């Protein structure tokens, strides 16, 4: 899927940095291949659970000050989840009553007081633990004998009976084999009824069946054991854990088959998860309604009673009734249609040919139109002409994956559907992939950059048909097995199938941005324990996606031979086809192909948060390397207790550009000795390098003499590394300034865009801290550094994606800084665009800068009118972002309120609005007030089940940490910055 507490146990990452003297090794004498290790016995490997999911991107992930970061954290919260968060309400704690001690008591001894205090703390703690568990009434059978073990404590269901289960995870005693689902949505009343027949296999003797249900009104339930007659049963419900249960007086025996049939009704969800209602306005201005699903990770239970965990795979037979002028879609092809007596029709779909996890089930009722090839792309009728690019790209990518994995796509059909009102970027439902319109539709005048977005998302979701759908993680702690692989494969596939999209630049950028997140103490291990629904949903973040992809790239780059990694992937997919896996299953599959223990190198990259800082120091002709945890936060930091096995690549001054120049060794201990010029060739490794004062000076001189001595990727990684070290306090801004001097000659995209991003981040920080004079000097410095390159940019159509990226970044910066010629060009283009009545076009990569200039001038209302009429979604979203960039207080307040109202601006776009408003000097205080005033409504719209109003969520902790880091940077760097500028 494209796209977010309780404290987690992190015993693997609690110790401090290493302090031993560095070992020394001569790289020239070291082998460039890995040693062979004996195969790892699975029983010797401690299973380490895992982590989270995609935040809405572009919400200002960099340095912001206190007020802005408070605002920013809220924007992240809103964008963090494409589904509602559902859990029990928090029970308020009752006040404690203090009793005065008896005046007649003599003064106790110090020892007695200590013992009493300890006992009191234990009693109060136990009382609080029991009392604060959510919405539970507990019952407990007393022990018959003092020596007998305690009986489990069970909650009470809604009807007052004891509920037979007390854990988040379902019992393993019963497994579903198949679901037969009939759904009857009423799009006029926004309700639906359902009939669910679940055939199950009893694995262990049990007196109860426990499964999931949420917000479903169960009207009737029957149970049938083997060939016995079906009987009516009582369904118990425990809402805090979204579970239902059926209890039996006689044990169900292992090996038996049974059938549970449930009739139920519910409202279509008004949020973006479960079976939810959506709408759009057609070109005639008529409102059209539809219903769609979003089940990942925990929302299938909102549409039908089910075993809603990834490991409970089953087959599905789905039937949906609807009006005759609508169509229904599901995972499988339609088998037949039956006319019903009420004027509706009933579509029955083929039974799934594979066992599926519940989160991959999907169905849609809408009046969409398809275009077809060997697959189909669906959209609202008036956007049919925008589906061609996705259809062609998906067809090519599907062929690539079939060949690359050596496993044919296993279903009989594949549909890609653009949904007008969809919070996620996309969702990989097996055979029925759903998308935001901006992630799937491409207009006739779209830029190559917009095609890059669509191509990336399509490639990601198609990769999931193998990674995630065919082979699925056993539990959400290993979500990275789905998302990290799909992210890695989206870049791999596009490099091969759509090379014109220059996807390498994007992959480099997301790796660097992932490091910035992972450098925070609030980060988490790639595989980390999750015990609550909120923790499950938080797994969808940059660690699971981009860091997961990054460590796979690092592993692939470190392996000898061209096809070794691919062979390991194929082994993994074939070995576990249709099954559920853990992280070590992947390492073991790769080990079978590579014949050395991959787990030894990779396990620490997934079991502990963060990444290493490799420090380089000179001793005569030798170079020493040492490693430590790169962690930006100094307060209450939990440094990694283990060393990483780092596949260190390096190049030297005699050979630095070609792939064959790269040399490799493994840094497994605290330090080793190498001879080097530049480490981490093309930034394929997930680590940062500090070359020391002398080393940075040498690199700065080398770039100043001939910047093309290093690849574009290597120059980019140097810029990123030195800014990161500046934030850490390891280098001065003077050293940063020395390295950046060469940029006046730079013409490649990624070094320039990386430098612009870092410098603009500092400028925003100075602006928010009212350092206007210093900010003006920094503005002048940026414009002088890139002035010649800015002046060389044209304003017409260009084909190269890389050149579009470069032009967009340069001109957005120039116009933001009110550079005169940039403002004039943008205004002229906008004027011509407005006066042409739709006949003129603006190059896609220039739309954002042109719309920004319009929104920050007298043309804001004109742009708003254009926004209301725009039909092409990518262009419309750029207009919205520009409207939110206004510095006018009245306009800021209006667009924030309208985003919550959802009439002109879709509510799904509110995270984008808030994040953009926060970037402006005039906007961030208004946004912060707006968020505080409307927090409860925001919670209801985006994650209704959040406990304790979100204060413990990881993104909040991340925001608070970033605030402190920003303040620390200001405190430590202002003097150096003033001196340099």
pLDDT (average), residues 46-69: 32
pLDDT (average), residues 411-437: 94
Which residues on adjacent β-strands are paired with residue 625? 616, 672
Asked if the structure places residue 747 within a domain, the reply is no
Residue bearing the bigger pLDDT, 14 or 140: 140
The answer to whether residues 172 and 161 touch, using CB atoms and an 8 Å cutoff, is: no
The encoded tokens of residue 740 equal 């950046």
Position 20 confidence tier, pLDDT thresholds 50, 70, 90: very low
Alpha-carbon gap, residue 552 to 570, rounded angstroms? 14
Whole-structure pTM value: 0.84
Residue 5 has pLDDT above 60, yes or no: no
Alpha-carbon gap, residue 635 to 654, rounded angstroms? 43
Burial class from Cβ neighbours inside 10 Å (0-12, 13-18, 19+) for residue 892 reads: buried
For residue 203, the domain's CATH number is 2.60.40.1730
Q: Are residues 487 and 360 in the same domain?
A: no
Q: Are residues 160 and 299 in the same domain?
A: yes
Position 34 confidence tier, pLDDT thresholds 50, 70, 90: very low
The answer to whether residues 528 and 6 touch, using CB atoms and an 8 Å cutoff, is: no
- Residue 38's pLDDT is what? 31
Q: What proportion of the chain, given as a percentage, has pLDDT over 70?
A: 82
Alpha-carbon gap, residue 394 to 376, rounded angstroms? 9
Position 884 confidence tier, pLDDT thresholds 50, 70, 90: very high
Alpha-carbon gap, residue 885 to 878, rounded angstroms? 11
pLDDT (average), residues 680-695: 95
Q: Are residues 173 and 316 in the same domain?
A: yes
Asked if the structure places residue 790 within a domain, the reply is no
Residues 6+ away with beta carbon under 8 Å from 179 = 196, 197, 198, 199, 304, 306, 314, 315, 316, 317
b/e per residue, 678-717, with b = 16+ CB within 10 A?
bbbbbbbbbbbbbbbeebbeebbebbeeebebbbbbbbbb
Asked if the structure places residue 357 within a domain, the reply is yes
The answer to whether residues 912 and 877 touch, using CB atoms and an 8 Å cutoff, is: yes
Residue bearing the bigger pLDDT, 962 or 149: 962
Sheet holding 363-366, edge to edge: 274-281, 287-294, 363-366, 327-330
3-state secondary structure 593-641: HHCCCHHHHHHHHHHCCCCEEEEEEEECCEEEEEEEECCCCCCCCCCCC
Residue 708 has pLDDT above 90, yes or no: yes
Q: Are residues 342 and 218 in the same domain?
A: yes
Residue bearing the bigger pLDDT, 597 or 888: 888
Binding residue numbers: 460, 464, 483
pLDDT in tens, 161-179: 999 999 999 999 999 999 9
* Of residues 670, 611, 517, 604, the one with CA closest to residue 12: 604
Query: Concatenated DSSP letters for 771-819?
Result: -HHHHHHHHHHHHHHHHHHHHT--SS----HHHHHHHHHHHHHHHHTT-
Q: Given 607, 642, 677, which residue is the final one in a domain?
A: 607
pLDDT (average), residues 817-844: 93
What are the φ/ψ torsions at residue 760 (nearest 5 degrees)? -65, -30
**Taking the CA of residue 245 as centre, how many other CA atoms within 13 Å lie in the half-sphere pointing to its CB?**
27
Residue 916 has pLDDT above 90, yes or no: yes
Alpha helices for 628-745 (secondary structure H): 692-705, 712-728, 733-740
pLDDT in tens, 443-494: 877 889 999 999 999 999 999 999 999 999 999 999 999 999 999 999 999 9
Alpha-carbon gap, residue 9 to 365, rounded angstroms? 43
- Residue 766's pLDDT is what? 92
The encoded tokens of residue 239 equal 């809402």
pLDDT (average), residues 939-944: 67
Asked if the structure places residue 214 within a domain, the reply is yes
Alpha-carbon gap, residue 361 to 952, rounded angstroms? 31
Asked if the structure places residue 892 within a domain, the reply is no
Residue bearing the bigger pLDDT, 41 or 967: 967
- Residue 947's pLDDT is what? 52
DSSP assignment, residue 909? G
pLDDT (average), residues 153-160: 92
Strands 376-379 and 415-419: parallel
The encoded tokens of residue 477 equal 């702690």
Alpha-carbon gap, residue 86 to 214, rounded angstroms? 9
Whether the CA torsion 590, 523, 4, 136 is positive or negative: it is positive
- Residue 569's pLDDT is what? 95
Q: Are residues 487 and 363 in the same domain?
A: no
Q: Are residues 203 and 343 in the same domain?
A: yes
- Residue 138's pLDDT is what? 35
Binding residue numbers for Zn(2+): 460, 464, 483
- Residue 710's pLDDT is what? 94
* Of residues 486, 503, 477, 366, the one with CA closest to residue 422: 366
pLDDT in tens, 515-547: 999 999 999 999 999 999 989 999 999 999 999
| Number of C-beta neighbours around residue 124 at 10 A | 11
Q: Given 565, 586, 607, which residue is the final one in a domain?
A: 607
Q: Given 570, 586, 607, which residue is the final one in a domain?
A: 607
What are the φ/ψ torsions at residue 837 (nearest 5 degrees)? 55, 45
Asked if the structure places residue 174 within a domain, the reply is yes
Q: Are residues 331 and 193 in the same domain?
A: yes
What are the φ/ψ torsions at residue 449 (nearest 5 degrees)? -65, -40
Q: What angle do CA 349, 351, 352 make, to 5 degrees?
A: 110
The torsion defined by the Cα of 165, 168, 169 and 172, in degrees rounded to 10, comes to: 0
Per mean pLDDT, which of 281-285, 354-358, 939-943, 970-974 is the most reliable?
Answer: 354-358
pLDDT in tens, 588-642: 999 888 777 899 889 999 999 999 999 998 776 677 899 999 999 766 566 666 7
Catalytic positions are: 461
- Total number of domains constituting the chain: 3
- Residue 623's pLDDT is what? 79
- Residue 217's pLDDT is what? 97
Q: Which residue has the tokens 């926060």?
A: 918
Asked if the structure places residue 625 within a domain, the reply is no
- Structural domain boundaries, residue 827: 821-879
Alpha-carbon gap, residue 908 to 279, rounded angstroms? 12
For residue 544, the domain's CATH number is 1.10.390.10
- Residue 980's pLDDT is what? 85
- Residue 423's pLDDT is what? 83
Asked if the structure places residue 62 within a domain, the reply is no
Residue 146 has pLDDT above 50, yes or no: no
Which residues on adjacent β-strands are paired with residue 685? none
């Amino acid at each position: 899927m494209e796209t977010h507490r309780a404290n987690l146990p992190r015993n693997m990452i609690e110790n401090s940095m290493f302090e031993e003297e560095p070992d020394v090794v001569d790289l020239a004498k070291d082998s460039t291949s890995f040693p062979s290790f004996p195969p790892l016995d699975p029983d010797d490997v401690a299973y380490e659970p895992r982590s989270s999911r995609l935040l809405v991107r572009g919400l200002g992930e960099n340095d912001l000050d206190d007020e802005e970061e408070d605002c920013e954290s809220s924007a992240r919260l809103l964008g963090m989840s494409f589904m509602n968060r559902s859990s029990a309400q928090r029970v308020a704690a009752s006040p404690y009553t203090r009793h005065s001690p008896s005046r007649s008591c003599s003064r106790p001894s110090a020892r007695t007081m200590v013992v009493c205090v300890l006992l009191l703390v234990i009693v109060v703690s136990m009382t609080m633990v029991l009392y604060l568990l959510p919405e539970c009434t507990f019952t407990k059978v007393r022990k018959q004998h003092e020596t007998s073990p305690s009986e489990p404590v069970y909650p009470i269901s809604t009807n007052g009976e004891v509920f037979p289960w007390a854990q988040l995870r379902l019992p393993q005693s019963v497994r579903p084999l198949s679901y037969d689902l009939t759904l009857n949505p009423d799009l006029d009343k926004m309700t639906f009824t359902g009939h669910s027949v679940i055939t199950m296999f009893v694995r262990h003797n049990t007196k109860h069946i426990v499964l999931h249900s949420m917000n479903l009104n169960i009207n009737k339930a029957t149970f049938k054991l083997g060939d016995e007659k079906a009987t009516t049963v009582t369904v118990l419900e425990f809402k805090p854990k979204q579970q239902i249960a059926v209890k039996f007086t006689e044990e169900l025996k292992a090996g038996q088959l049974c059938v549970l049939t449930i009739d139920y009704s519910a409202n279509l969800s008004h949020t973006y998860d479960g079976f939810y209602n959506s709408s759009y306005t057609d070109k005639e201005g008529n409102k059209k309604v539809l219903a769609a699903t979003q089940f990942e990770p925990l929302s299938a239970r909102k549409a039908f009673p089910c075993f809603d965990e990834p490991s409970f795979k089953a087959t599905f037979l789905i039937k949906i009734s609807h009006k005759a002028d609508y169509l229904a879609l599901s995972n499988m092809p339609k088998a037949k249609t039956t006319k019903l007596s009420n004027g509706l029709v009933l579509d029955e779909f083929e039974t799934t040919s594979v066992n599926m996890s519940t989160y991959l089930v999907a169905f849609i009722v809408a009046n969409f139109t398809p275009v077809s090839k060997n697959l189909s792309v669906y959209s609202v009728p008036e956007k049919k002409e925008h589906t061609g690019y996705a259809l062609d790209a998906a067809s090519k990518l599907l062929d690539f994956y079939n060949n690359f994995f050596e496993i044919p796509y296993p279903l009989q059909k594949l549909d890609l559907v653009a949904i007008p009102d969809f919070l996620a970027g996309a969702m990989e439902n097996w055979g029925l992939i759903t998308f935001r319109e901006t992630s799937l539709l491409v207009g006739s005048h779209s830029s190559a950059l917009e095609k890059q977005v669509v191509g990336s998302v399509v490639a990601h979701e198609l990769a999931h048909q193998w990674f995630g759908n065919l082979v699925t993680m056993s539990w959400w702690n290993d979500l990275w097995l789905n998302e990290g692989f799909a992210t890695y494969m989206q870049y791999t596939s596009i490099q091969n199938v759509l090379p014109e999209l220059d996807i390498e630049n994007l992959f480099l950028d997301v790796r660097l941005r992932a490091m910035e997140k992972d450098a925070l103490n609030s980060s988490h291990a790639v595989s980390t324990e999750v015990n609550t629904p909120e923790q499950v949903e938080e797994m969808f973040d940059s660690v699971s996606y981009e860091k997961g992809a990054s460590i796979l790239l690092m592993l692939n780059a470190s392996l000898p031979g061209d096809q070794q990694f691919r062979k390991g992937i194929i082994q993994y997919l074939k070995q576990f086809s249709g099954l559920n896996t853990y992280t070590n299953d992947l390492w073991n599959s790769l080990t079978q192909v590579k014949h050395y223990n991959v787990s030894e190198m990779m396990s620490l990259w997934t079991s502990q948060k963060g990444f290493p800082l490799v420090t380089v120091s000179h001793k005569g002709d030798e170079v020493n390397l040492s490693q430590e945890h790169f962690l930006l936060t100094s307060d209450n930091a939990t440094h990694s207790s283990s060393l990483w096995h780092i596949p260190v690549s390096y190049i030297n001054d005699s050979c630095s550009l070609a792939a064959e120049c790269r040399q490799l060794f493994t840094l497994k201990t605290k330090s080793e000795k190498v001879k080097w010029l530049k480490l981490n060739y093309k930034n394929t490794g997930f680590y940062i390098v500090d070359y020391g004062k002398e080393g940075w000076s040498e690199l700065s001189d080398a770039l100043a003499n001939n910047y093309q001595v290093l690849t574009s990727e290597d120059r980019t990684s140097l810029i990123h590394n030195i800014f990161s070290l500046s934030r850490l306090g390891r280098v001065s801004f003077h050293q940063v300034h020395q390295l950046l001097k060469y940029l006046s000659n730079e013409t490649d995209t990624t070094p320039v865009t990386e430098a612009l991003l870092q410098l603009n981040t500092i400028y925003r920080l100075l602006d928010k801290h009212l350092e206007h004079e210093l900010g003006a000097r920094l503005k002048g410095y940026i414009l002088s550094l890139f002035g010649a390159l800015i002046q060389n940019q044209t304003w017409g159509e260009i084909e190269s994606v890389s050149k579009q990226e470069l032009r967009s970044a340069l001109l957005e910066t120039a116009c933001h800084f009110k550079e005169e010629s940039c403002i004039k060009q943008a205004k002229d283009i906008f004027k011509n665009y407005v006066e042409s009545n739709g006949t003129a076009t603006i190059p896609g990569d220039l739309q954002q800068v042109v719309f920004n200039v319009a929104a920050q001038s007298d043309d804001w209302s004109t742009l708003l009118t254009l926004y209301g009429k725009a039909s092409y979604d990518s262009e419309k979203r750029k207009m919205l972002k520009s409207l939110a960039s206004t510095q006018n207080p009245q306009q800021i307040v209006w667009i924030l309120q309208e985003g919550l109202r959802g009439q002109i601006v879709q509510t799904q776009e509110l995270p984008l609005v808030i994040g953009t408003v926060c970037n402006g000097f005039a906007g961030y205080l208004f946004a912060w007030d707006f968020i505080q005033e409307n927090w409860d409504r925001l919670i209801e719209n985006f994650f209704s089940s959040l406990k304790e109003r979100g204060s413990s969520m990881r993104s909040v902790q991340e925001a608070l940490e970033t605030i402190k880091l920003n303040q620390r940077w200001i405190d430590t760097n202002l003097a150096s910055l003033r001196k340099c500028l």
